Amino acid sequence: EPEVTQTPSHQVTQMGQEVILRCVPISNHLYFYWYRQILGQKVEFLVSFYNNEISEKSEIFDDQFSVERPDGSNFTLKIRSTKLEDSAMYFCASSEGGAFGETQYFGPGTRLLVL
């Protein structure tokens, strides 16, 4: 069964460093998402991406964050200058469509630790 994959599974970085989290969505999906889950807190929406542009973003997704689909298969989340509070599990998801009832399929997550 097709699945969303994410790399790396774990990333440790120093505050102020740039990180890139990678995701390979399911191949026929058109909508892509990033969510994050700070330890002990709810899963929160960050950004959705369709047709090579951001379709929605939350207030969390500030100028430090960017997303890209560089090559038609990968979908990346870049954090330009990491802060301690960026430490979280980051989930990528994809769906065939973006409408009501569409199921989002989630990857296993990347656990980011900022020191």
42 binds another protein (CB under 8 A): yes
Contacts of 106 (CB under 8 A, 6+ apart): 4, 35, 91, 92, 93
Supply φ then ψ for residue 9, to 5 degrees.
-80, -35
C-beta closer to another protein: residue 18 or 29:
29
Q: Give, as ranges, the residues between 50 and 109 that touch another protein (CB under 8 A).
A: 55-56, 58, 91, 95, 98-109
> Which spans of this chain sit near another protein (rule: CB under 8 A)?
4, 6, 31, 33, 35, 42-45, 47-48, 55-56, 58, 91, 95, 98-109
